[in-house]
Amino acid sequence: MGWRRVFVLILLFVFPVAGVTKGKILDRIAAVVNDEVITLSEVDEAALPLYRKYLRGVTDPLEEEKLVHRIRREVLNQLIEEKLIEQEVKKYKITVSDEEVEAFLKEVVSRVGGEEAFRRFLAEQGLTPEEYRQRIRDQLRKIKLIRGSVQARIVITDEDIERYYREHYLSAKNRVYHLAAIVTTEESRIRKAWKALQKGADFAEVARRYSEIPGSGSDLGRFKLEELAPEARKALAGAKAGQVLPPLKASGRWYIFKVLSVESPATRPLAEVREEIRQKLYQKALDEYFQKWLKELKERAFIKVFI
């Protein structure tokens, strides 16, 4: 997955969902990052989806308090990283043109299924088009920063590609499953989607209605079984092209998979998959360098946590 696709997904899912948590939110300083603060209300707002997911049905006050504390610390760490990146963007005065914003917006609209679907998405998030454009501009600034700080360090050689090919593509056990999927955290939504499919509804259309990942009903990606959660591996082992699997739960989400194709890497020559391997190695290196860069950024910063 390239940086543009990564940040399309970020733009689609980073926005907090409106609502309230259990108990009263007390606003105070949660952390200081260099000369800026992150408040507890900011943490709780960003944590709302996790509160809804993990606090539902919890009746023991002590257990609830422990869960809230754990969620707050995890979310606060993410907000600290975001704040550090934002500060670097300001430091280097990184700018993004209106043309870049509009081009990226066009890509987002395409992924969510067109203008009408995009308007519904904005309404659900409680955002105006201009507010969303500002979100895009902010994210594009971060992309430029990361590219400048990380991307130049990455070199993928022909030897790297050939080694990966030998290790991953010449074994018959490493079949590649090209998947589409309906993905949601809600069991009720997955049941409705499965019921619609059993009545003969089109898979892509059902996915547009029920999946929380835009575009997943047409193409979720290509995966080896080892790249998937154990529950998904078990369900997909032996599945054939065109098959739609019953709902399954894996890693806290519900899935209905459709197998678009099953490919045997052993039958694909190196010339055919060279660029595919290059992208995989590049993305792996990019992730590693980004984490290293972020770690160095934290070590240079003044960070004080109060929760």
The domain spanning residue 194 has which CATH number?
A: 3.10.50.40
Does the predicted model carry a pTM greater than 0.75?
Answer: no
Q: Are residues 147 and 175 in the same domain?
A: no
Residue 94 domain flag: yes
How many domains is the chain built from? 2
- Confidence check: pLDDT of 5 > 70: no
Alpha helices in the chain (DSSP H): 3-13, 40-55, 61-91, 98-112, 115-125, 129-150, 158-168, 187-198, 203-210, 230-236, 270-300
Asked whether 141 and 236 are in contact (CB, 8 A), the reply is no
Residue 49 domain flag: yes
Tokens of 36: 């800026």
Is pLDDT larger for residue 1 or for residue 202? 202
Q: Are residues 107 and 183 in the same domain?
A: no
Q: Are residues 210 and 106 in the same domain?
A: no
pLDDT tens for each residue of 159-184: 999 999 887 777 646 688 999 999 99
Q: Are residues 8 and 146 in the same domain?
A: yes
Residue 79 domain flag: yes
Q: Are residues 135 and 39 in the same domain?
A: yes
Q: Are residues 195 and 95 in the same domain?
A: no
Q: Are residues 134 and 211 in the same domain?
A: no
Pick the range with the lowest mean pLDDT from 96-100, 158-162, 262-266.
Answer: 262-266
Q: Are residues 143 and 9 in the same domain?
A: yes
The domain spanning residue 139 has which CATH number?
A: 1.10.4030.10
Place of tokens 């030998």: 166
Mean pLDDT of all residues belonging to the chain: 85
Return d(Cα 232, Cα 177) in angstroms, integer. 11
Model confidence band, residue 20 (pLDDT cutoffs 50, 70, 90): very low
Residue 158 domain flag: no
- Confidence check: pLDDT of 17 > 50: no
Range of the domain at 185: 170-267
Residue 227 domain flag: yes
What integer pLDDT is reported at residue 267 of this predicted model?
A: 63
